[in-house]
Every structure is written in C-alpha cells, then in structure tokens.
A and B are shown apart, each in its own frame.
Chain A
C-alpha cells in the first residue's frame, strides 16, 4: 500500500514538477467555492474535479487504472482534471466584475504575468526550431535518406534496408516509408537476435564494429549510417562488403557492395 501511494504521489509530482500551476488551481478552486458555489455548473465541475482527484489518489482505483494503462502513463489521468479551464474561469469571473475596461485590462495583464512566472514558456523550454524541410524532420534525416535513395536508384537496388541509430531511425520512415529497417525506435519491431544485437551495438558508446557489420549483412541491410565515435573501422566494414560512400556531420554512410568475404 505504501509503495502504491508513493508511486501515485510520484506521478502527481512528475505532472506538476517545475511549475506552480497546481497552486493557481488551488486558488481558483477556493475562489469558485467561495464566490460561485451556488451556480449549478460550477458545483458540478468542482464535484467532478474532487471525484477525479479521489480516483487518482485512491490506491484501489489507481491499481485498477494502472492494470489497464500500465505504470508508465498513469499521470495521464491528470489530463482529466480541467486545470486550465478552472484557472481561466476563476480569473475571468473575478475580472468581469471590474467596472472599467482599463481595470480589466490591467488585471488581465497582471494575471498573465503571474501565469508566466508560475510556468515556463514554450520557446524558453526549447520546444520549437525552424525546420528547413516541409516534413519538419531533422535536416540530417532528409539529406541522408535522399543520399541513400539516390545511390540505390543509381545502382538499381529494388529495396533499401537501413541500419542506423535512434536519432536517424526515429524519423527515417517518417520521411520516407519506402526505406526498410531491421528494428525501430528503442529496438521495437526487432525480429530476432541479429536485429537486437545490431540495434544495441549501433547505439552503443563503444560499438563493436565487427558485430555491427556481421549482423547488418545477415539482415540484408544495404546501408548503414552511424556515428563511428572517432574511430576508423573501415577495414572491418570492408571485410563484410561495406564501403564508405559519404559523411555528414558525425555520421558515416556505408553501402553493401557485396565484395566482402567474411
């Protein structure tokens, strides 16, 4: 029981961590309870919010929901709490009682400042950047996918199967779904031991290049794109029939040219 409660509270903390919106919500609820409790809709929404908090915090209901949605996303239950709505509602109700528009405007800007201090802006959290492609995927992905597609077309390859790391792998098929991969993000979709090993090694800080080349060849990957981490394993790759065809930033691109003997 204690463990379950700790887990519930850690989800609560995780959801609000870094901001003070929970206190704004508390203030809004207190205001609505004092000022608007006689209004039917306010009563219903406050009752609903209380019921939802009970469901979130009660170990029994938490255990049931946990069994349904898993332990990684229990915090999503808090999406059901109408936080933004209640805060904006209480503030708007308080402001509408002011007599002049200037008073309303001043207070609205003051409330906006309080909100800004209580949270964190979207740009401040580095959430956005200017993309150089309409698909809005990393530019490296666009360049690398175009490069291997052009190479495959020039060499008359019917299929492109690419082994790469998490960063490129996450967006390669978003950009071009004709590119096949032996595994997906976090190794998902791996079909066997070779693809699991390949995923693990290609994302490792100390990659075993021999195992990478061996597994990639077994899995019929005709392209490998990876960060060599300052090393020069060209001989190892060429032993398995892979030749370097290009570089971009930290990435080196290899293509299977079928002359390897290993």
Chain B
C-alpha cells in the first residue's frame, strides 16, 4: 500500500477517530472545542484499549481479534460522536476567517516552533535501546499474531508472563495501530507516525491548561506555548527529565505518560476535582487513571499520586468527604492493577501462574 494512503489511515485512526469519539463524551456540554474533543477522545481511546487488551491477553486471544474489536469499538464511538457533532452543525467546528484574523502573532510563532519540532522528530531519528522491548514487543505481537505471549527479546514463548508489562500493554496498542494503518511496520509507526501525533497532542494538553489562566488574553496563550516549546527543546540537560523524554522518545508509553497524560491529568484535576461544579464528568478523571495504566507500569503508581494530591487538596478546600470518595473511586483502576500485580506475584510464587 502506498505510503500516502497509510499516512491518511494514520490520520483517520489517530486524529479523526479520537476527535469524533471525544465528541460523544462531551455531547452534554453546552459548548466544546475540537481540541477538547481530541483530548477527551484519547482519554477514552487509552482507557478502552486497556479494557480490551488485558482480558484478551489473559484469554490468550490472537492479536487480530483485538484489532477487530478495537476498530469496531472506536468506529461505533466515532459515529456516535459524529452524530452529536452534526446536531450542533458541522460548520461550527471550523474556524471562521474573522476568528483566524483575530489570532495573536505570538500564537502563530508558537505554532511555527512546534511545527518545526514535529518536523525534527519526524525527519530525524533517535536511537534508544529501550526499543528492544517496547517496539520489538509490537513487531513480535504482529509477527506471532499474539498478545504478549512471545518474548520480544528472543522470539521464544514466555515461560511466564512479564508481570511488569502485562497490565500496561502500550506496545500492543502500537501493534494494533500499525495493523490498522495498512500493516505499516511497527517501527515506522512508532518512530514517525506517533511523534507526529503525540508531540502536538502534548502541546494541546498544555494549551488547555494555559486557557485556564489566560482565558481571553490570546497573546498570553501564544507566549505560554512558545516558551513551553523552548523549554522542551532545551531539556536535553539531562536524560531523565520529562522534556527530554517528550522530545526524543515520545513513542514509548512512559514518555507519553510524562509528556501527555500527566499534563492532561492536571488539566482534568483543575476542571473536575478543583471546581465547585465540575466542568467535565467525573468519568473523565477515572478514564485518565485507566488510560495511564495502559501507558506504563510506572503510570499505575504515578497517576494516583498526582490524583491523590489533588483529591486531598480538593477535599480540604471544599470540606467535602464526597469529593474525597469520588477522587479515590477514580483511582480504582490503579488500585485494581496494583492488587492484580501483587496477586500475580503471589500466584507465581506458588506456581499457579
């Protein structure tokens, strides 16, 4: 299949489908932007992938079954979202000439800088030996038509399931997308397609946050984004900070957690937990936790720490035990994954798993 068609398929599965499906979850909101819809779509997409992949992994189902189920679920959600968008009129989603003319010059400068960064990460390569696990797990899943049953390092069947990764099967998401994008090689999807989508997505999450502070000041939006882009670009002072992970290996689940999911959780915390009347449903907060579990095993621990801190602050600020309970309930996916992790350890110790 021609690469252009594959690029269009990638745009369909990684931009159009999340944006449309996000609208389904925002349909009760008075108004929302395409950016909100896109981000919400990813909350749903990651959460749904976790819910589909983990049971199929334990049921030893082949990868192609997961691909079909994923495509079906996403298409249904996207169609549902399109209907809710249609009700408001499709024309409302596109910026008018007047609106574009009112955009700040600083905003365009930021867009230009971010586009330049996207060009660099797409055009250039970065070698990271962690790919031996993360990307090879995808190529292996495709090669063997299995979900984490073959060791990505060797190609031999696992004697025991890799407990650190089975609850966070992000490489399988990469394999699913690669299959849906006309069977594109997983390494190309990871190293070219994912950065082109997820680097701008991480800036969109920051943009949503900036809007909370500078609601009407468009110059400030642009300045904020521009400086954030400069900060990320000059984050190579150490290989450990989140900026470094964002710029050089955003295709790995842990980098996506640091660059995309954690800013998104802060935005949701301020919009849901820290509001007298939540701007979005509590469900989004729970989906963020579940989605973070998909990305990396560290996400199972880090995300509830962040959500726990905001829950504590919110509960004290609003003097509300109900809020505390709601926050804890949203961390339930992490708690379940944590318990499952311990159970796997115990069962393995007694030779049951």
Contacts and interface: CB of A to CB of B under 8 A. Distances in A.
A76 interface: yes
Contacts of B301: 65, 68-69
A183 interface: yes
A170 interface: yes
B143 A92 contact: no
- Taking each of A20, A87, A91, A169, which has the highest tally of chain B beta carbons within 10 Å of its own beta carbon? A91
A184 B213 CA distance: 48
B172 interface: no
Contacts of A116: 230, 234
A15 B241 contact: yes
B237 A19 contact: yes
A184 B154 CA distance: 6
Given A21-B237, A118-B234, A138-B127, A191 B156 contact: yes
B307 to A, nearest CB: 10
B213 A89 contact: yes
Interface residues of A, number: 86
Main secondary structure of the interface of A (DSSP, over half): helix
Contact of A173 (B129, B140, B225, B302): B140
A44 B313 contact: yes
B223 A52 contact: no
Contacts of A169: 132
A101 B238 CA distance: 34
A55 B187 CA distance: 37
Given A130-B125, A174-B135, A177-B136, A52 B227 contact: no
B257 interface: yes
B140 A14 contact: no
Given A15-B238, A17-B237, A171-B132, A87 B155 contact: no
Contacts of B225: 88
B151 A189 contact: yes
Contacts of B185: 134-135
Interface string B128-169: 010111011001101110000001111110010000000000
A9 interface: no
Interface in A21-61: 21, 39-42, 44-45, 47-48, 51-52, 55
A63 interface: no
Contact of A84 (B124, B143, B243, B297): B243
A181 B132 CA distance: 12
B235 A185 contact: no
A230 interface: no
B231 interface: yes
Interface string A163-177: 000100111011111
Contact of A119 (B217, B223, B234): B234
B266 interface: yes
Given A17-B237, A89-B210, A170-B129, A104 B302 contact: no
Ranked 7 nearest A-B pairs via Cβ = A184-B153, A19-B237, A119-B234, A125-B236, A189-B153, A131-B125, A136-B125
Given A125-B236, A134-B188, 7 more contacts: A14-B240, A68-B338, A85-B266, A96-B223, A119-B236, A136-B191, A170-B131
